[in-house]
Every structure is written in C-alpha cells, then in structure tokens.
Structure 1
Amino acid sequence: MKRLDLKLSLLLILAFILLSWITRTGSMYYVPTTLDDFFMPGSQPLESGTFNSSDQCANCHGDYDMAVEPSYNYKGSMMSHSMHDPLFEASLTIANQDALFSGDLCIRCHTPSGWLEGRSTPTDGSALTSNDREGIQCHFCHKLVDPLSTRSEDLAYINTLPAEHIPTQYGNGMYVVDSDDLTRRGPYDDANANHPTLYSPFHSSSELCATCHDVSNPAFSKAPDGSYQPNATGMPAPSFDKYELFPVERTYSEWKMSAYNTPEGIPSDVFGGTKANVSTCIDCHMAQTTGKGCNKQFAPTRNNLAIHDLTGGNTFVPLLIKDKFFGVVDANAIDAGILRAQYMLQHAATLNLNVVAAVNGYDVEVEVINETGHKLPSGYPEGRRMWINVEAYDIADNLVYESGAYDEATGELNQNGTKIYESKLGLSEDVAALANLNGTGVYTAGESFHFALNNVVVKDNRIPPRGFTNSNFEAVQAAPVGYSYPDGAYSDITSYTVPETTYRIEVKLLYQTASKEYIEFLRDQNVTDTKGQELYDLWIAHGKSKPEVMQEAEFYTSALSLANDQTMDKAIRLYPNPANHTVNVLFNFTTGKKIKLDLYSTNGIKLRSVIDNKTVMANDKIQFETSNLPGGIYILKFQVNQKVTSKLLVIK
C-alpha cells in the first residue's frame, strides 16, 4: 500500500511539473523553458574573446593548392555552412516553438562564435551576423582547449573559469575556448607561422569531435525506471553527465565503444589518405595527405597534413545552400564537397548478395557490412535513413518483384516490407498527454519529429561498427531499440524471396539525407515564420533529397544453371582454366555477334566489365588479365544478342 501511495505521489508531482511546464500564447505553442534549462558547462558568452572570419584565415591558408589547402576544402564542407543550412534553420524554428529558448543549445554548436560573442539570443538566430553564419569557423576550432587537460598550457586558461563552468566530460557543446585571440592551437609541435602557435594533442583526437557529436537534451533527465522525465523549469539540469540526459546523437560514443578506438585501429585502403590504418574520427573525416598547410615559402611539406574537408554524407543540403546563398558561398568548393561526400557514402558499406534456387523462386540474402567507425548511418536522426532496394526482372526485362521502391517524382518511399536503417525518436504517453493540456492537440505519443520535446527512442536498428557489444553500447545510451544484434556484429542480413520467373536481380543500398515526411513536418508544423515553406520549396527545386546509391550488386539466375544454352555454350571456349595470370576466350561463331562479357564473384557481385557490346567474328580471341584477382572461383557471364550463358573460371 505504501509503495502504491509513493508511486501515486510521484505521478502527481510529475503532473504538476508538466502542467506548469506547458503554456500557449496566440498561435505559438511552447513549453516555457528558460535559458537556464539549457545551460551547459564550458566557456560562456563573452568569456572567449572575439573571432575572425574564415576569409581572413584564407589569406595564408588558401589560393595555392586546392587539393590540400585548408581554406578551399573547408569552404566545401557542411561545417562551414552549418548556419547557412536551410534544413537546420527550419528545425530551429520548431525547436524554439516547442520549448522556449531551446534554440540556444542548437546555436551553441552550429555557430559557436556567435554564441560565445553573445548573439545566441534571440534563440531564433535573428541577432547573428554574416560572420556568425560562416558556421564552425577556423578561429573557433583553433582556440579550443581540451577541457579535461592536465597540461600546464591548457590549465593556464581552464583555471580562470569558475569551477562550475569546467566540464568533466567531452560532448554536448561543453567546449572550452581560450580568450587569447592571437594564438592558434594545432596538432604540430614544429609550426612556424606569422601568428603565435601552441601545440595541442587535443586537435588530433576524437575527443575534439565529441564536443558537438555527442548530444543530449538537458531538459530531460534519467529517472530510476530508466525513462527520461522533464526537469523542473528555470534551472539547469541536476546533472551535466550526458549519459544521464536524453540522448539525441551518440556518434562519438559509438566510435568510443568500437574496435576503431584502439592504438592500431582498423586497416583501410579507402579512408585515411596516406594512413594504412584508421583509428580516430579525424583519420577518416580529415584524411592525411602530403602538402603544405599554408602558402608561405618557409612552410614545410608534411606527409601527415590533415585535409580540412570534414566530409560526411550530406550531398543534398549543399545544393540548397548554393541556391539560397548564391554569390555568397563558393559554389565550386561546395560541388567538390558533394563529390567527397558521395565517395564517403560509396565506401561506407560493403554489399554481399547470395542467391539460391528455391521451390517457388529464388531465395535472396542481402548482407550490408558497416565499414565505418560508428553506426551506419549515424548522427542526428531526423529524416536521415538508409534502405535496401531489391528489384527482380524476367528475361524480357519486366519488373516482377520490388522491395524498397522509391518514387523520385513524389519523394515517397514504399515502406511496406522495406528494410530501413534509421533512428526514430518520440514522446512518451505521459509527456504527450500533458503537453496537449494546453489545448493545441499537436502532440501524439510515439514517433515524433518534435526534437526539443522527444524523450523516447522509438527505433534504432542502425548497423553497429566493429567491436560492438550490447553492454558497452547500452552504457552509452546507444543500444539497438526494436531490433537486436549479437555481440561482435557489424553487419546485417535481410532475406527475400523473388518469383521463379526471375532472370536478373538488382540490389541497391540507398541513403537519404532528409525524408519527405520530415520536410513536410517542418513546413506544416511551423506557425512562427516562413522557414519551413522556404525549405520545402528548395526541396522541391532540388530533387526532393534524391537518394544516393551507396552500393549495388547484380545477379543473373542463369549463373545457377550454367548449361542453359548448350549450343552457345559450346561456341565459347575458355583457356587456360584454371588460370594464373591470363585467360583467353575463343569465340567459334559462324557470323559476327555483339558480345557483352562481365566478371562476377560467386555471390553475384559484378567485379568488372571485360567486353561491352563489342562485335566479334568467327575464331576471334580476346585476352584479359587475372593476376590481380585472389585465388578462387569466378563466374564469366556472356550475353550474345538476347541469349546468356555463364562459365566458371578458376584462379589459382
């Protein structure tokens, strides 16, 4: 009985807090939170001096080698346009609309110079200058101090801060920024520049990236039952431990709990540039190269120069930025950044395809392997998703099966039976019900795009990285939700059955920056300004966030029956087989025929095109190299006019 009374009392207290937490004025609905509700330790406004425009840094760090120079590559990154981003601006409006002053937390990381110089209020960003809208500036990053450092050079500034302002962990925008406007901190201990420099190991660590890539909502704290409940308003959170607050993004923590977070790292020939192994965030997102860091003659040529491209997977929003800020931004740099982002996406996963004949068709297994140091995909969850598209065609090239169909004309994804990798947040029943007591009827329990009010992880089936364990990921609030992965998993397999009339199977792994549902939410829920409509118009004008093809594979069911056309099969001779370095193909045709010849692995992955619609005559012979292929069995698929046959090739 006492336990029941205690539970009832706690519910009444929660109801009282929430009732006092919600109000409505005019057409704008919001929780009457204050700036104090979003306070986080670290340097505070007007404590860190002033910040130069990145154009000033370009005087020495640009205009000499676009392939390696910091300025040009930075100008093509989303970091340099984090306050030009129309999607972020539309999201910022909704956040402020849902919880008053919540935009301060967003601005804190999207334009730290504007925040530190005291222009984050009003929290809609209306007080920001053109300099602030450059986003995460060079000067900000190179004034950063390791907040947990014990080095005397860092403590000289850290000890000037009030004790309650000194962070005890990395993340949540809890940055410490030196008030010295002249000295630049960086990863080299031999820098010789026209300005004072200070060696900082923090600038080559993943902990620097954690600053804004491990995000929690300080308006919610973890309750004893594991749920996240709203704090009393008008005061900071009772704890600044990010793992005690509601998790919004855990990219750094995902890396921290991965096998990449080791001294040796993971071998990679696609990320890291001149490095053989990748370990830190910087290794992949600022790959090493050879070159000079500035345009001065005395500057050394380094073999470990980090390219300041800061590349992620966003290929869509840069198109909107070029349009909205035409003449203000460097369009060529942005285009180069889009190409880099496409490269990142195309190498972030490996796709394996296994097809076997079944009673009523073919069983298809699609394996997606995560080749990154965090979940795939990772980052801010709203509208960001990756999915598998499977298409099956008959011999006449008619589509007979599809999963994961996407309509580019409407921007709609058919989600019925589609494997979608994503994270979805939402509202609990009690928070949604009490929020609606203000009469708006806006809030619904379950999945929600109301970022500032979400207090539940509804779904998270994103593929974990190498080194994953359930206990470690649960400890950092990054465990799978509504899905399961065994310890050690860094891939996922999805099974399909396609009809027996299937001749060709195409599989694509697709990535989308922003879903139609999210874009329409930002438009339809906005009762404050026109930013949601402006975003929607840009979305329409630039392809509705057309999905990027990360990986694709093709399989011909004729490979399961190599003798499907004995006449044609006998007209093609393959030798030597097994082969070591070279394979000869002899065509015994009576007349010229157009040939297409492709090389596949036994699991249906196309490796290369050997002949592409070339006409061969009687007794013609072609030769191709196999020395670069590992030993094993391969499939050579021949298409002669409308007929197809396959031959097995063995490499010693």
Structure 2
Amino acid sequence: MNGHFKSAFWTSLLVLGGITAVSAHARPASSGVAAGKLQPQQRGAALPLPTTVNDFFQPGQQPQPTTIEGDPYQQMYSSIYNCANCHKVDEAFDDRVMGPFNTWSTSMMAHSARDVIWQAALAISNTESSMSGEYCIRCHAPQSWAAGLSTTGDLSNFTDPEHFEGVSCHMCHRVVDPIADIENPVEDNDILQALVNAGTYPDDPGNGRFIFDPVDTRRGPEDDWGVNMHGADILVSPHHNESTHCASCHDLHNPLMSENPDGSHSLNAYDSAHPTQSPHDMMPEQLTYSEWLNSDFADGGVNFPDGRFGGDHPTGTMQSCQDCHMPKQYGASCIFWYVDGIGLSPDIPDHSFVGANTWVLRSVHDMWDPNDTGLNDEALDRMSAQTESFLQSASDMDLVELEDELSVTVTNWTGHKLPTGFPEGRRMWLNVRFFDDEGTQMQENGWYDFDTGDSLLDDTKVYEIKLGLDAEMATLTGLPVGETKSLTLANTIIKDNRIPPAGFSNAAYESFKGEPVGYSYADLQHWDETIYDIPTDAIAAQVTLYYQTTSKEYIEYLRDNSPPDEKGGPSIGQIAYDQWVMHGRSAPVAMDSQVIYFGKSKITGDANGDGYVGVDDLLAVIQSWGLCIACDGDLNRDGRADVNDLLIVIANWDGQG
C-alpha cells in the first residue's frame, strides 16, 4: 500500500453522498422547535428526503465550543502516537494490559470511522435523506465532528488520517458527566452551566449528545496517578467508570420522526429540530444502554462465580458496561510504572472494548496503513480469539430430550438483549443436525454454507430485529411496504425476538420502546426455548448456536444500493462487499455447540450403554477415536472421542445403574 490509503478507496471517500455543504450546527430559528408534522401534500416520493442539518440537531456540546473564558476551542487532534509514547506495552515488562494504546488500537472504537460497513451505510443514508450522515458522524468520528468536519454530511472533509481515528483517547478522556455531582471535577459545573444558559443542555443521554471539555484536559477514574507527565491538567472523573459514559452512542433514535398516539412514527416538518428532543418520542434504532438500565445488571449487578466476565474483578459481580467490556487486569497503564508514585495496579481497565464484531478489523488492516492504525497480524489474531471467547461467554445452551422432541434453551447472560446494537446484519440462530446410528446426517435445521454465505433459516429459530416501512412512509418514499434495511427511513419494527437480559420486565421495556415485537417473554425471563421434532431413527443431534456480524443479505443491500463513485471506480458498497468476501464472508461464530444422544444410558462413563462402566467402555472410546458425531465413545459431547473420554471412563470405573 502506498501512502495512507489505497487510491480507489480514498477516492470513494471523497465523493461519498455528493451532498452540498450547508452551514451546520447552528440551532434552528424559533428555538429549534418544529411547529408540527408535514402535511402529505408537502412530502414527495422522491429520495433523498429534503432534510437539512437542522433536522438532526441535538442538544449537548456543539462543534468547536469556546472555553468558559471565551478562548478558542482546543482541538482534540493529536497523533495517536503521542499517547502511545507512554501508554504502550513495555517490552521489558511484557504484559499487554500495560498498554492502553495497544489494546485500544485493536478495538472497533479506534476504527469506527474506518469501518467500511459503516462508510457504505453512511453513503446510502445520504441518498435517502440529505445531510443524515452528519448525525452518523457524531458517534463514528466524534473528534472530527467536534472539529466541525461533518458540515457536508459525508466524509469529504476528512483529509488527514487523524480524522479517521474514531473514538479516540482524547475524545473519551475529555468527556464530562452530564449530571452534576459533588465527586466530579469542580470545572464541570461551569461547563454544564454554559449549556444550560445556551439552552442546549441535554435532558436525556444518547443520540451522540456529547458534553466534552473545550479545554485540553485528561479525565479518568484513577486518583493515584502520582506524577503528571501529560502537559495538561488531570481531573479525576468517576463518570468514566459509569455506564452513562457509554450512553451517548449506545442509545440511538431517529430524530426525523415523532411518535403518534397510536404508537406509529411519522416524519417531522423539514429543516427543524425534533419538536420535543425527547428520545422517547423518536423512532428507536439501537437501545443497548436502555436495555442495560432496565436489567438486573444496573440494579445491584449479576454475579458470575465462573468468572466468565470481568477479568480480575474483585467480586465477580458485573454492573456497568465497563465491568464486562473493559475488564480489570493487573498491570500498568504507563511505561513509567517503575517510577515512585506510579507503579502497578490490580485494576487496570482493558481498553480492547471487546464486543461482537468478528471481521471488520481485518478489513481495516487490509485497507489502511498500519502506521495510521497501529494494527498488526499478531494483534488481530489476539483480538479475534478474545472476541470469539467473549461471544461464547454471552450465553449458555441446554439440551433436553422430551420423548419425541428436542428442547433447546438459550440463556442470555449479557447486560442487554442478545444480540444487541446495530440492527442490520447481526443475528443468532440455531443449527440442529440429526444423525442415525451410523453417524449419517438425517436432517438439518438452520443450514448455512460457509463457502457462499447462503443460508436457509426458515426452519429454525433466528434471533434478530427487523425494521420496516408502514404504508404512509412507503407512499412518501416510493419504497415498498414492509421490511427495509434503511435505518434512516424505517419507521416501524416488524420483528424483535432478541433475548432480553436478567431482570427484564415488559412494562419497563415498553417504556423505552424496547419490548419484544412478534414474540413474547414473561417478566424476568432471560432465556428462550425452541422445540424440534426428533426424526424417526435419529439417535443423536448436534446443536450449534451461531452468531454472525454481517449477513449476506445486508452486505448485498450495501453493494446494490450504494451511490456510484464519481471517478468511475468501485462504489464504497462494492468495496465493502469485496472486503466481506475477502475476509471470510463474516463467517458465523459458534457461541455454543453440544451433542445430545437420545435414549442413552444416563450412567456417566457408560459408553456402550450396558449399564456398567468397565473395560468395554474403554474399548468403545478407542474404537470411536477421533472426530465423530453420534459415536459411543464421545462421552463429553464435544464431537470427538479422545483422552478426555477415556478419563471419564476411568473416573467412573465400576459404576452401575
């Protein structure tokens, strides 16, 4: 790769959306409140909708705010290597958790603006609703948004690699708690009061309603830093340990729409801010923070004796987003750990921000200069393994034979719906394969082809959310009624059977529009059961819970609906599709996989089912040796007969029924 970017990719970025620049971010006239909804005759069926930056205005800090003293805004831009100089892995003390830079650089937070899936979705959004990309840039490139680079609604102002740094060190560590608290830095009071005086204080979190310090400071939760080597003031901020810190970008609604009395959503008047600015009156998009807020995790926490989450957490009780996604580790956050007053700590937060994106980081590494991303093959392999392990910790699966039926129960152990977040392309499903006594597959539910990305999922349970257009919106846009993959235009939810977290209640979830749609869960239910008929002569089944980040249906939507490249090169949607193919078609990850044998002896170690554990069972394991499904020797149901199964026989020797 020459320079900072591959030429076709960089060219496509410069022309995304093709939107004319608008004077952005000024609060609309008449205090920014729309007088009402558009009348049908004012709306045209042609796209894009004639929206402006005013339609996407959000309270909170606005771009390039002056300081309290009236001095110019102090930019957040600083080479990532300025932070890396001190906050990196110390080769003399080889512990990766010592390097916040090293772990952050392998996170999707770091590369949220380089994410080619997002860039394709951004380009399409601008073809559907003018200037809608400005709203997206808030969270995917917040420091560039704060610098005023989103005024075109696309990425054409992003002319430097630093503009694509995503959710950067400087952005997060300048964020101010929106709620005044005596434990917060005293400087915060003036920042909050200035927003109140300007009429832009955000009453609700979410929607990218940032509050950040106009002055270059370093905020964080630690109060034992000893020596300040930053050249900027350090302010102790408990807010950085709180889930509300994450709410800004992980609770999102569409401000183009307002809720009607019947629960439907309609477009607001154009060129005006949302009439109430209450997210609860808008069309929901992704509600991860609200899902957490209305769970047991937010109400005292959930304890995990098995330590599946939290790293070196002292109690194992998970409460905040940070507890799971920034687990505590022993180490240091600075290479000067050996200096008196700095030292090592048992609770350094891992800045990997591990989540559920299984492939886009490899795309970033393929398309961008490693000198700008900080990525390398070793780090990517480590993050892939960490992501897969995290996904496998998110749920438990139980299989039970019920006469001629198989019961499969999936339990959600995350602090939000499973899956959660971005609604398009993400899904979980059950793959069930039945076998006869010769190990031949008889039937498969939830078929997926790893070579092509094709699937047949109508005969199984798929956990997902589907958005749609009602008749009114279809008329206005010229698009068909029903399911849509457009986040910008969707005004109804067709399906949402994602599994809620522990502590779920229907009333609480209805209060923030997070209730199940086309499905039902009882209060406190955070699991789901699916029943399959067992075919005649089937003696075993292998059940796998798969998760996929980007479905073939969604990537084809991006490819087919992305605007053409003005220079004649591939569209950003085509580039996204090609990357998807190149990196394994977003290969599904097995979150859990088990084998169940039907009608077998329940005696542990009895491989041949004769009611006794002895030499014949050792021989049964040896005869089945190797990979096998529905074989006698696979006692621990891991799909193979091996030493572990021999040990099970020995441990239960002479056992009888």
TM band (smaller chain): 0.7 to 0.9
Larger relative contact order (Cα-Cα within 8 Å, sequence gap ≥ 6): 2
CA gap 1:288/1:18 in 2 versus in 1, 3 angstroms? farther
CA gap 1:249/1:589 in 2 versus in 1, 3 angstroms? closer
Tell me the SS of whatever aligns to 1:79.
coil
Q: Percent identity among equivalent residues?
A: 36
CA gap 1:235/1:301 in 2 versus in 1, 3 angstroms? same
Shift in Å, 1:592: 12
Shift in Å, 1:560: 5.3
Whole-Å Cα distance in 2 between the matches of residues 554 and 588 of structure 1? 19
Whole-Å Cα distance in 1 between the matches of residues 346 and 331 of structure 2? 7
TM-score with structure 1 setting the length: 0.84
> Which residue matches 2:292?
255
Whole-Å Cα distance in 2 between the matches of residues 502 and 453 of structure 1? 47
CA gap 1:649/1:248 in 2 versus in 1, 3 angstroms? farther
Which sections of structure 1, spanning at least 5 residues, go unmatched? 1-12, 437-442, 575-584, 627-635, 637-646
Shift in Å, 1:333: 2.5
The answer to whether the 8 A contact 1:170-1:210 is kept is yes
Give matches, 1:2-41, under 5 Å: 17-22=39-44, 24=46, 29-41=47-59
Shift in Å, 1:474: 0.5
| Residue of 262, 269, 272 corresponding to 1:235 | 272
Whole-Å Cα distance in 2 between the matches of residues 69 and 510 of structure 1? 32
> Which residue matches 2:310?
272
Tell me the SS of whatever aligns to 1:471.
helix
| Residue of 348, 351, 354 corresponding to 1:305 | 348
> Which residue matches 2:446?
404
CA gap 1:622/1:550 in 2 versus in 1, 3 angstroms? closer
> Which residue matches 2:575?
534
The residue type equivalent to 1:107 in the other structure is I
> Which residue matches 1:381?
423
> Which residue matches 2:514?
478
CA gap 1:366/1:140 in 2 versus in 1, 3 angstroms? same
Shift in Å, 1:383: 1.0
Deviations 1:151-185 (A, max 9, x none): 4331122223343211112111001010111x200
The answer to whether the 8 A contact 2:89-2:98 is kept is no
Tell me the SS of whatever aligns to 2:254.
strand
Whole-Å Cα distance in 2 between the matches of residues 250 and 649 of structure 1? 53
CA gap 1:461/1:346 in 2 versus in 1, 3 angstroms? same
Higher alpha-carbon deviation: 537-546 or 324-333 = 324-333
Whole-Å Cα distance in 1 between the matches of residues 460 and 319 of structure 2? 33
The residue type equivalent to 1:37 in the other structure is D
Give matches, 1:539-550, under 5 Å: 539-550=580-591
Tell me the SS of whatever aligns to 1:160.
helix
| Residue of 203, 209, 215 corresponding to 1:168 | 203
> Which residue matches 2:252?
215
CA gap 1:614/1:210 in 2 versus in 1, 3 angstroms? closer
The answer to whether the 8 A contact 1:388-1:507 is kept is yes
Higher alpha-carbon deviation: 538-547 or 509-518 = 538-547
Q: Which has the larger radius of gyration?
A: 1
Shift in Å, 1:498: 2.1
Shift in Å, 1:149: 2.1
Higher alpha-carbon deviation: 525-534 or 91-100 = 525-534
Shift in Å, 1:198: 0.5
> Which residue matches 1:418?
460
Shift in Å, 1:427: 1.1
Tell me the SS of whatever aligns to 1:294.
coil
> Which residue matches 1:78?
108
The answer to whether the 8 A contact 2:595-2:639 is kept is no
1:187 maps onto 2:221 in alignment: yes
Give matches, 1:50-69, under 5 Å: 50-51=75-76, 52-64=78-90, 65-69=95-99
Deviations 1:91-149 (A, max 9, x none): 00111110000001100000000000010122111111311211000010000001122
Deviations 1:342-372 (A, max 9, x none): 11101101000001333xxxx1000000010
Write 1 or 2 for the structure with the bigger share of strand. 1
The answer to whether the 8 A contact 2:97-2:332 is kept is no
CA gap 1:157/1:559 in 2 versus in 1, 3 angstroms? same
Higher alpha-carbon deviation: 475-484 or 405-414 = 405-414
Shift in Å, 1:337: 1.8
The residue type equivalent to 1:487 in the other structure is D
CA gap 1:184/1:590 in 2 versus in 1, 3 angstroms? closer
The answer to whether the 8 A contact 2:427-2:548 is kept is yes
Higher alpha-carbon deviation: 528-537 or 34-43 = 528-537
> Which residue matches 2:532?
496
The answer to whether the 8 A contact 1:292-1:301 is kept is yes
> Which residue matches 1:390?
432
> Which residue matches 1:368?
410
Tell me the SS of whatever aligns to 1:551.
strand
Tell me the SS of whatever aligns to 1:159.
helix
| Residue of 328, 343, 349 corresponding to 2:395 | 349
Whole-Å Cα distance in 2 between the matches of residues 615 and 458 of structure 1? 46
The residue type equivalent to 1:541 in the other structure is M
Shift in Å, 1:319: 2.1
Deviations 1:188-226 (A, max 9, x none): 122232132111111000000111000001000112222
1:142 maps onto 2:173 in alignment: yes
Whole-Å Cα distance in 1 between the matches of residues 292 and 411 of structure 2? 16
The residue type equivalent to 2:343 in the other structure is P
Shift in Å, 1:468: 0.4
CA gap 1:19/1:398 in 2 versus in 1, 3 angstroms? farther
Shift in Å, 1:539: 1.4
Deviations 1:298-352 (A, max 9, x none): 2231112111111101112122212222534312323322221111101101000
Shift in Å, 1:399: 1.6
Q: CA RMSD in A?
A: 3.0
Shift in Å, 1:510: 0.2
1:46 maps onto 2:92 in alignment: no
The residue type equivalent to 1:492 in the other structure is D
> Which residue matches 2:544?
508
CA gap 1:300/1:433 in 2 versus in 1, 3 angstroms? same
The residue type equivalent to 1:136 in the other structure is V
The answer to whether the 8 A contact 1:405-1:413 is kept is yes
| Residue of 456, 461, 481 corresponding to 2:492 | 456
| Residue of 185, 191, 198 corresponding to 2:235 | 198
The answer to whether the 8 A contact 1:21-1:32 is kept is no
The answer to whether the 8 A contact 1:553-1:606 is kept is no
Tell me the SS of whatever aligns to 2:500.
coil
1:291 maps onto 2:331 in alignment: yes
TM-score with structure 2 setting the length: 0.83
> Which residue matches 2:32?
none
Whole-Å Cα distance in 2 between the matches of residues 231 and 592 of structure 1? 68
Whole-Å Cα distance in 1 between the matches of residues 615 and 41 of structure 2? 82
The residue type equivalent to 2:146 in the other structure is L
Tell me the SS of whatever aligns to 2:154.
coil
The residue type equivalent to 1:335 in the other structure is D
> Which residue matches 1:430?
472
Shift in Å, 1:605: 9.4
Deviations 1:3-61 (A, max 9, x none): xxxxxxxxxx96x545534475xxxx300100000000111111153112322111110
Tell me the SS of whatever aligns to 1:167.
coil
| Residue of 550, 559, 564 corresponding to 2:600 | 559
Whole-Å Cα distance in 1 between the matches of residues 635 and 358 of structure 2? 26
Shift in Å, 1:63: 3.0
Shift in Å, 1:559: 1.3
Higher alpha-carbon deviation: 138-147 or 166-175 = 166-175
CA gap 1:623/1:402 in 2 versus in 1, 3 angstroms? closer
> Size of the alignment, in residue pairs?
583
